[in-house]
Amino acid sequence: MKKNYTSDNQEPILKINNLKVYFDTDEGLIKAVDGVDLKMIKGTTLGLVGESGCGKSITCLSILRLIPSPPGIIADGEIIYKGKNLVELSEKDMEAIRGNDISMIFQEPMTSLNPVFTIGDQIKEVIMLHQKKTSIEAKELTIHILDKVGIPSPEIRINDYPHQMSGGMKQRVMIAMALTCNPEILIADEPATALDVTIQAQILDLMQSLQDESGMSILMVTHDLGVVASIASHVAIMYASKIVEYGSVEEIFENPRHPYTLGLFTSIPIIGEKKEDLYVIPGNVPNPLAFPKGCKFWPRCLFATKICKVLEPSLEEIKQDHKAACHFSKSIDKYIWKEKIKNA
């Protein structure tokens, strides 16, 4: 069951403050993440949504300090986990946190499995790296965890090589690997995007039931607002390196206030709604080497005015547990939005 909490009243298990991650490239400085604030509440799922290139994966990789460096650096900010600032920890301390406390399912899981080792050996290796287990104990644990993620006959399938498994099975193996050490936080970067719809639903159900069992917190990156609605308690909408709207799923779905969020919602076909009501956000996410001045969304925004082109809005509270970064978010709502797109 999805848990609903007011995040304002809960001590977060992970808190990101003003995170900035830059890439110093030959073409110029790419500000991939530029002042992101986020919090995760224990035992719940936070959805992180946004178009391609807006900084979702880089935010996730920063938490585990896996930003390729050079050219990347964490230029500023804090990532607080159990009172420690992960940005300042030594590599040795981070190694102890990766996999044990915080695990990640990477965006390209199919390429994360080594084709020349059996899946059993690959999971065993992760267990033996992080836990003091003998080879026999690690094998038993591998079979147990494969069983838990729904791999039939795990005692036989541990001898399979990745190419002998279907996409859905490989994804389950990746989840099993991420869960071997019973992490407090699971970062799932588009864990089901490459899979067909039925398998996607099974993977999400599986993650949800594992969360119910273990109380882990999940950061779920997705393009799919349907996934957010089914699994997350809170959602952060990211655009061009910043969070532009944040709140409980109920509040954001019922009362979106940022024109980008409204555009994302109106671009999903809903059964029973007229095709004319669909809206496609014009243009593309801006090139990070040439972000527009002011609000980065203004070239695509139906509400943009002079001030938007010069002054970047900050993330302001609309009400408890709901924030948006738009100069006009207190007056824009879904009714005004509907009128606007009708006349656009």
Ligand X SMILES: Nc1ncnc2c1ncn2[C@@H]1O[C@H](COP(=O)(O)OP(=O)(O)OP(=O)(O)O)[C@@H](O)[C@H]1O
Residue 38 φ/ψ, nearest 5 degrees = -150, 155
3-class DSSP assignment, residue 267: coil
In the complex, least distance from residue 29 CB atom to ligand SF4, rounded to whole angstroms: 23
Residue 21 φ/ψ, nearest 5 degrees = -125, 120
Quick one: which of 258, 195, 204 has its CA closest to 228? 204
Nearer to ligand X, 23 or 81 (CB): 23
Nearer to ligand X, 25 or 164 (CB): 25
In the complex, least distance from residue 36 CB atom to ligand X, rounded to whole angstroms: 11
Contact status, residue 87 vs residue 73, Cβ threshold 8 Å: no
Partner whose binding site includes residue 23, from ligand X, ligand SF4, Mg ion, none (CB under 5 to 8 Å by kind): ligand X
Nearer to Mg ion, 188 or 326 (CB): 188
Contact status, residue 317 vs residue 323, Cβ threshold 8 Å: yes
Residues paired with residue 103 on neighbouring β-strands, in sequence order: 186
Nearer to Mg ion, 60 or 326 (CB): 60
Does 62 contact Mg ion by CB under 5 A?
no
Does 54 contact ligand X by CB under 6 A?
yes
Does 25 contact ligand X by CB under 6 A?
yes
Quick one: which of 58, 62, 51, 61 has its CA closest to 30? 58
**Residue 213: CB atoms within 10 Å:** 10
3-class DSSP assignment, residue 146: helix
Residues paired with residue 49 on neighbouring β-strands, in sequence order: 222, 237
Dihedral of CA atoms 284, 69, 102, 322 in degrees, nearest 10, equals: -40
Partner whose binding site includes residue 239, from ligand X, Mg ion, ligand SF4, none (CB under 5 to 8 Å by kind): none
Q: Among 7, 44, 45, 57, which residue interacts with Mg ion (rule: CB under 5 A)?
A: 57
Please give the residues from 106 up to 165 whose contact with Mg ion meets the rule CB under 5 A: 107
Binding mask of the shown chain, residues 57 to 86, with x at each position contacting ligand X by CB under 6 A: xx---------x--xx--------------
Instruction: Kindly list the residues in this chain that would bind ligand SF4 in the complex (CB under 6 A).
Output: 259, 295, 297-298, 301, 303-304, 308, 313, 326-328
Please give the residues from 84 up to 113 whose contact with Mg ion meets the rule CB under 5 A: 107
In the complex, least distance from residue 137 CB atom to Mg ion, rounded to whole angstroms: 36
Quick one: which of 247, 245, 221 has its CA closest to 233? 247
For ligand X, the binding residues (CB under 6 A) are 23, 25, 30, 32, 50, 52-58, 68, 71-72, 107, 288
